[in-house]
Amino acid sequence: MTEDHFVFGYDEDYEPASAYTPGGLCPIRLGCALGSPPRYHVLAKLGHGSFSTVWMAHDRVRQRNVALKIVVARSLRTSQEREILQRLSKAPRANVVQLLDFFEHASPNGIHQVLVMDLVRPLHYYRSEFRPMFVRTVLRQIIEGLEFIHSCGIAHGDLHPGNVGTAVPEIVPLSVKDVWGCGGRPTTLALVHSSLDLNIDSYPPYLCETMDVEQLILCLAPGVSQRPLSIRILDLGNAYIVDGSPSPKCITPMGYLSPEVAFAQIALGDENAPWDQRSDIWSLAVCIYGLVCKTDLFPFVRDDLLHEMMMYCGEVPDAWRPYVRLNPFPQGDVPGIVLADKLWKAKEASLEWFGVENAPGLVRLLRRMLNLDPSKRPTAAELLRDPYFAEAQDFYPFVYLQRVLTFSRRETIANLFHHLFVSLELAIRGRAPSNRKFFL
């Protein structure tokens, strides 16, 4: 099955139509109701991945808005996600997505696991809220979430900016008319089959583009967006319980791979290299850099990735030397601590220019996490005790005002002065509490 079987072909804004086959994705229509008895009214599509689609729905029993993650049928008996979410829900923490309900749904493609979770929007879609002045507060929440996951004996295995989100505050119960009355008509792609040999029941009549949840919130409840960010780590579809059993195949995007997995895949051709919670620490560091700087730290090109890792870490592991002899560094790019220091000094200057508080402390934190030797990486619990989260913030009123103007040109004058007064308060108190929540 290929996209050639459909008149309109493939569009990157939608999941591949070819994924709707026996054992694959579940065909969903806007406005349908799921559950037994039907209680979840599907309102809009929130996203899709290789193994699932995610939908906004209204729970007609609890009268609240939720997210439905509908997993491919072939994963029903192999995925640990439900078990993992149930384990995490026994002692819920605010910084990890919560499982509210689960059930199975039958479609022409098989039996699908449906996970009902609180509504979360990916943080990297709403970077205007991720202000550089308040990086420390957000990063602490992310690490607290990962520390909780690890404390439950679980490794995440797919940490990247798309899997870090913010909770969507509960607004009024929504209907289909509410959703699309604010957002306009849904953008869809009709699935017109070019072959009569296909089983049309396996496919939805159309594919849906992802809804802009932020626009919906601004339309229905503009004041909600002024609340503090509440961070969630989401998508534990590739997570596993670290109990001595083999880890699943790593599906982390190339640029976020830990070096132990990247080296095995690139240099040794081993696509099933083991990984664990220590691998999460590396991926989290790269994820943090991507969220803060809005750019990638490492390339997504296989031929360059290992070289970049060695350059930023300032060493060539003994096990990697045969690979380096076959794939030498470009002239002048000899890895060592001197070159690594220069590279990170440039990153530090960039962070300071963009207004990130305590850029030197953040760079030191990232360098602790980015160690080529997994055994030398700090645990998430140790990261929470890093001086970065306790150090006071220097206060320079005119620099701060320039930063707020740079990143908040569209904000109101009242908002601008609000943040200036917050900074004055912190300066008078002589410290910046790490657990304080800020927002613009």
Token pair 């960010």 is found at 229
**How far apart, in whole angstroms, are the C-alpha atoms of residue 7 and residue 15?**
16
* Dihedral (CA of 16, 20, 24, 28) sign: positive
Those residues whose C-beta lies under 8 Å from the C-beta of residue 319, and which sit 6 or more positions away, are: 263
**How far apart, in whole angstroms, are the C-alpha atoms of residue 264 and residue 271?**
7
Query: Is the omega angle on the peptide bond into residue 37 within 30 degrees of 0, that is, cis?
Result: yes
SS3 call for 393: coil
Structure letter (DSSP) for residue 394: P
* Dihedral (CA of 431, 434, 435, 438) sign: positive
- Residue pair 217/56 in contact by the 8 Å Cβ criterion: no
Relative orientation angle of helices 277-293 and 337-353, to the nearest 10 degrees? 50
Q: Where do the H-state alpha helices sit in 259-391? A: 259-266, 277-293, 302-313, 321-326, 337-353, 359-369, 380-384
C-alpha closest to that of 278 among 302, 242, 312? 242
Q: Is 294 annotated as a binding residue?
A: no
- Residue pair 84/154 in contact by the 8 Å Cβ criterion: yes
Token pair 């009709």 is found at 190
- Residue pair 30/43 in contact by the 8 Å Cβ criterion: yes
CB atoms inside a 10 Å sphere around CB 376:
9
Structure letter (DSSP) for residue 51: S
C-alpha closest to that of 191 among 1, 338, 434? 1
C-alpha closest to that of 58 among 106, 119, 140? 119
C-alpha closest to that of 27 among 198, 157, 178? 198
User: From the centroid of its chain, how far is CA 433?
Assistant: 26
Binding-site residues from annotation: 69
Binding residue ranges for ATP:
69
